[in-house]
């Protein structure tokens, strides 16, 4: 309390720059006059009386300095002085200042830019709850040198009932569709997804609902979920959007939900991540081919959420066992030479993909650039400082304190 009061009194003195030093001078003068008068009364000659008074008073320089220290906040005062000095020095050699500042700015800017990319991709790749449980499931036929051949609907159902996953969803990889019937026709990107898609991601709609995960419609269920961006941009954030009919490539769908603001779909391309419409489909009836083991859904992706606590390796082992038993059960569908396998890949890998290595490398590179720019600026300063050694010597000879002269060097 006492300390605070003192601090604020000094701060206000500093801010108002009040000349209270004048008061000390006046008081000192009065003090000396009285002491001199007393000395004279005690029988001293006038000159000696004055001299004795001054001796008793003490070193005037030190006292004035102490008084000034108490009057204001010397720490802040010196700081301001140094700042002013720094600005003056920068302005005195604008070329040097510009080069130094530009060097540092480039180094810092490059590092920040790459770091923000790394933060978004490597550190927070999936904006969904419990992202470690999310996997992508890929079917390979290494026997015939084919990768990512797609899944068939019966296989998907086997995965769903395998007990390894909380649920697995089939999704398209993004395509375009024409929206007609509104003020102006639009070409929008959409994805076909099985109705449990949003349950796998663990994200719910902000308005209405997503698809019912138990919906077993074989073809399109004629429901559509739209993105927050589309809702605001094309429908003016219409609160009556739910149930509205949209004509997409001449089929009529009904809006059942709006995804939350900032929701980004998973996927390896930005086009996939910026999808604005999701159509629910079972992939098992018209217009899709009949659900046979032999008809694989090409250019579709399967993503799934593992049972909680299950590691990818353990899940993969369970999946391998399932594949083996299916091969025995349907030898005609899975001929041995194709060596059908199913692979689990962490979903974060599909976002980051093969750029992980190059990103880390790039980050290292810009880190070095920052380091180099720091060294460069340090060198420049060193060269400048050695040029100023004369000035510093003069300052010290004139009585600058050690720390004051180093602060302004």
Partner 1 sequence: MPEKPDVLQGTLALMVLKTLDLLGPLHGYGIARRIEQISGDLLAVNQGTLYPLLLKLEHEGAIVSDWGASENNRRARFYRLTRAGRKQLKTETRDWDQTAAIISRFFEVKAEDLS
Is residue 58 part of the contact set for partner 1 (CB under 8 A)? yes
Helix (H) / strand (E) containing 300: strand 300-306
Helix (H) / strand (E) containing 186: strand 186-193
Complex with partner 1: residue 9 or 87, whichever CB lies closer: 9
- Applying CB under 8 A, the span of 28-36, 40-48, 102-110, 293-301 interacting with partner 1 comes to 28-36
Question: At a CB cut-off of 8 Å and minimum separation 6, what does 218 contact?
Answer: 282, 284, 285, 286, 288, 291
Helix (H) / strand (E) containing 382: helix 355-387
Among residues 18, 19, 27, 311, which is the contact residue for partner 1, using CB under 8 A? 27
Using CB under 8 A as the binding criterion, the count of chain residues that bind partner 1 stands at 30
Q: Could you tell me which of 60, 38, 64 has the C-alpha nearest to residue 50?
A: 38
Is residue 59 part of the contact set for partner 1 (CB under 8 A)? yes
Is residue 26 part of the contact set for partner 1 (CB under 8 A)? yes
Quote the least distance from Cβ 15 to partner 1, whole Å: 14
C-beta of residue 296 within 8 angstroms of C-beta of residue 149 = yes
- Our CA angle for 46, 47, 50, nearest 5°, is 85
Among residues 48, 70, 251, 391, which is the contact residue for partner 1, using CB under 8 A? 70
Is residue 385 part of the contact set for partner 1 (CB under 8 A)? no
Q: Could you tell me which of 119, 120, 303 has the C-alpha nearest to residue 202?
A: 303
Complex with partner 1: residue 40 or 242, whichever CB lies closer: 40
List binders of partner 1 among 29-48 (CB under 8 A): 30-31, 33-35, 37-38
Complex with partner 1: residue 15 or 33, whichever CB lies closer: 33
Q: Could you tell me which of 196, 141, 133, 134 has the C-alpha nearest to residue 323?
A: 141
Among residues 39, 49, 71, 195, which is the contact residue for partner 1, using CB under 8 A? 71
Is residue 2 part of the contact set for partner 1 (CB under 8 A)? yes
Cα–Cα dist 31/149, whole Å: 101
Cα–Cα dist 216/196, whole Å: 10
- Applying CB under 8 A, the span of 40-48, 54-62, 121-129, 217-225 interacting with partner 1 comes to 54-62
Q: Which residues bind partner 1 (CB under 8 A)?
A: 2, 5-6, 9-10, 20, 23-24, 26-28, 30-31, 33-35, 37-38, 56-60, 62-63, 66-67, 69-71
């Amino acid at each position: 309390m006492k300390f605070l009061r003192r601090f604020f009194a000094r701060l206000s003195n500093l801010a108002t720059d009040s000349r209270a030093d004048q008061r000390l001078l006046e008081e000192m003068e009065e003090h000396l006059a009285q002491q001199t008068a007393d000395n004279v009364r005690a029988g001293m000659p006038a000159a000696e009386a004055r001299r004795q008074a001054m001796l008793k008073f003490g070193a005037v320089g030190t006292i004035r300095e102490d008084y000034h220290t108490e009057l204001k906040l010397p720490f802040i005062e010196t700081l301001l002085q140094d700042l002013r000095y720094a600005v003056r020095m920068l302005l005195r050699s604008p070329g040097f200042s510009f080069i130094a500042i530009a060097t540092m700015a480039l180094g810092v800017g490059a590092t920040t830019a790459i770091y923000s990319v790394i933060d978004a991709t490597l550190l927070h790749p999936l904006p969904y709850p419990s992202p470690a449980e999310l996997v992508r499931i890929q079917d390979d036929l290494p026997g015939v040198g084919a990768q990512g051949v797609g899944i068939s609907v019966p296989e998907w159902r086997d995965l769903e009932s395998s007990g390894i996953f909380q649920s697995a969803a089939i999704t398209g990889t993004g395509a375009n569709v024409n929206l007609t019937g509104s003020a102006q026709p639009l070409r929008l990107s959409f994805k076909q997804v099985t109705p449990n898609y949003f349950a796998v991601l663990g994200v719910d709609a902000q308005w209405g609902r997503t698809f019912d995960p138990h919906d077993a419609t074989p073809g399109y269920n004629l429901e559509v979920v739209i993105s927050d961006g589309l809702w605001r941009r094309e429908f003016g954030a219409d609160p009556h959007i739910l149930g509205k009919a949209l004509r997409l490539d001449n089929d009529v769908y009904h809006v059942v939900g709006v995804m939350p603001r900032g929701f980004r779909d998973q996927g390896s391309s930005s086009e996939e991540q910026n999808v604005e419409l999701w159509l629910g489909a079972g992939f098992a009836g018209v217009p899709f081919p009949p659900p046979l083991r032999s008809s694989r859904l090409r250019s579709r992706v399967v993503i799934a959420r593992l049972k909680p606590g299950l590691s990818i390796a353990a899940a993969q082992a369970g999946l391998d066992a399932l594949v083996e038993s299916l091969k025995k059960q349907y030898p005609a569908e899975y001929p041995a030479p194709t060596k059908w396998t199913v692979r689990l890949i962490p979903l974060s890998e599909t976002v980051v993909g093969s750029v992980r290595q190059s990103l880390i490398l790039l980050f290292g590179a810009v880190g070095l650039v920052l380091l180099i720019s720091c060294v460069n600026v340090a060198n420049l300063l060193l060269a400048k400082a050695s040029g100023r050694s004369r000035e510093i010597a003069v300052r010290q000879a004139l009585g600058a304190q050690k720390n004051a002269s180093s602060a302004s060097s």
